[in-house]
Amino acid sequence: MLTRIDHIGIACHDLEATVAFYQETYGFGDAHYETNQEQGVREAMLRINTTGDGAASYLQLLTPIRDDSPVAKWLAKNGEGVHHIAFGTDGDVQDEADGIASKGVRVLYDAPRNGSMGSRITFLHPKDCHGVLTELVQKAGTAPQDG
């Protein structure tokens, strides 16, 4: 079951300046930085709040580390701004994706990939989600919960 907005992804050109803006303007705390070579991005996760399922909601700031990454292509076409929305699950992300796929929504990956902070992720096609690139997230260290 989807239980929360895990994060909202924002594409940006200058990661440090964008982090500083969100910290200084909104008071968001320390950023967790990491580079995801597979996705071709450097990112910062800013925690907004905790949620009822023990996870948290984040703002994910993304900047490309190579010109052929999906975020680089998106920035070239759209400029800075909201890139995607991610919903967290308290179950297995593959099971969640399979259930959504059975309703006619295309899943972009055959199997979940590594995401931020050790999570498992997959994406849904934006054309099937009213123009919104949608990510499904299973946070690190969580096992699927039985019904």
80 classed as catalytic: no
Phi, psi for residue 84 in degrees, rounded to 5: -160, 165
60 classed as catalytic: yes
Catalytic entry in 39, 83, 84, 94: 84
Residues 40 and 11 sit within 8 Å (Cβ to Cβ): no
Catalytic entry in 43, 83, 94, 96: 43
The counts of H helices and E strands in the chain are 3, 8
135 classed as catalytic: yes
Catalytic entry in 7, 39, 94, 138: 7
Catalytic entry in 60, 94, 96, 138: 60
7 classed as catalytic: yes
43 classed as catalytic: yes
Catalytic entry in 39, 94, 96, 135: 135
- Side-chain-side CA neighbours of residue 123 (13 Å): 16
> Would you name the residues annotated as active-site residues?
7, 43, 60, 84, 135
